[in-house]
Amino acid sequence: MIVFPNCKVNLGLHITRKRSDGFHDLETIFYPLPLYDVLEIIQTGTTEIQPEDVSFTTSGIPVDGLHDDNLCIKAFRLLKKDFPDLPAVKIHLHKVIPIGAGLGGGSADAAFTLKLLNDKFRLNLSTEQLVNYSLRLGSDCPFFIINKPCFATGRGELLEPVSIDLGAYQFILVNPGISIPTATAFSQVTPTLPVTSTREIILQPVITWKDELKNDFEEVVFKTYPAISDIKNKLYHAGAVYASMSGSGSTVFGLFRKEEKVTLSFPSHYFVTRI
């Protein structure tokens, strides 16, 4: 079976509190976008114990790190503990979504692995159960189980679907290939409660977002990486109605009216796509 994990962007992002468990509470709007990885899982063995219960290969954008640290592998083994009859499988991941870019690509791959395994092997897990499993893999993962625009609080796992229509706009995503450690970014932000909730702001006309819909990570990230700030400025100069960094970076996206022809120039090694 083959599925297509998509990315997300954050419409506004506030860090509201540091928790006693070391995590942070936040509020944001998760918004899914049709930029896709490709994930395939095939059965390679029986339900008996295999020398290797899961094999993993990749193509596309190189995936760094140890085999056992990959979230797709962790998702399989998480379910294997509770469903020991899961047979050995081969997982192949073709990466298109930039890695460590604030687009949730790894979280999407993990969540879609859970969903694919659930469907392929008829585990009969409910959406709520899948959300609970996914949270053990990462704070962004539960969103990709639901995969609809959501107002998110807590660590990002408390999700409330919201109605937001951006069909009149095109997204332009720009990633400069800068990797920003998420933990480092969180450590540099001072938690504060927003004056106006993100959930309220996104109900306003998009033209008002520029002044009101903020990402708390931008201030600290832009100081260290001015090239990312330059991307946002260039998007606005090109006519974006709204532009923002997604997550803790380093991708910046701009919202442009669909009928508008946008001319942009970025270094050749930047990842740039229009959606």
Active site amino acids: 8, 140
- DSSP secondary structure of 103-116: S-HHHHHHHHHHHH
Q: What count of residues does the chain have?
A: 275
Residue 23 near residue 141, CB atoms below 8 Å: no
Q: What is the Cα–Cα distance from 214 to 219, expressed in whole angstroms? A: 10
The secondary structure of residue 167, as a DSSP letter, is T
Q: What is the Cα–Cα distance from 88 to 234, expressed in whole angstroms? A: 49
Residue 53 near residue 84, CB atoms below 8 Å: no
> Beta-carbon neighbour count of residue 33 at 10 Å?
19
Peptide bond into 250 cis (omega under 30): yes
For 241, the token pair is 């109605």
> Beta-carbon neighbour count of residue 114 at 10 Å?
26
